[in-house]
Amino acid sequence: MRKPADIPVIFLTAKSEIEDERQGFEVGAVDYITKPVSPPIALARVKTQMQLKNARDFLKEKIQRQIEENHLVAHLMAQMMHSPGLRDDQIRYWISASDLVSAISWPPRATSMASSSSCWPIPPDTGCPQR
């Protein structure tokens, strides 16, 4: 369920005093349109607010996905650091796997499954590090 703050509110009103407009913005309006209304101007302002809302939502999702990816990479790096006997070539492979996870933008379910794995696949000739 959306919170009211997530929905852009545009005031359309006959009140045109500066104090009325100030109050409108103070209570959360994203725009304030006074009568008489020019339909093309009102439509342009609504369209602008919709574009801004979509951009905010996109950025919020992108930030959340990046945070999840960062947690996964940190988990993988911690596993790598606590795995005795890892050689440099194995470390490079683990870092490449972390970069791959970040690049493909896994959804949260897959990210949590990957972060709960005991180890990442390592080239067949090296095997999985023992804990």
The whole-angstrom separation of Cα 11 and Cα 102 is 42
The whole-angstrom separation of Cα 12 and Cα 93 is 59
Q: Which residue has the higher pLDDT, 32 or 128?
A: 32
- Domain ranges for the chain: 66-131
The whole-angstrom separation of Cα 110 and Cα 46 is 37
CA distances from 35 to 18, 19, 47 (A): 14, 16, 19
Q: pLDDT tens digits, residue range 96-128?
A: 555 555 555 555 444 444 444 444 444 444 444
Q: Which residues contact 14 (CB under 8 A, 6 or more apart)?
A: 34, 35
Average pLDDT over residues 13-19: 96
Q: pLDDT tens digits, residue range 63-109?
A: 999 998 888 888 877 776 676 666 655 555 555 555 555 555 555 44
Residue with tokens 């809302």: 53
Please determine, for residue 34, whether its predicted confidence score (pLDDT) is greater than 50.
yes
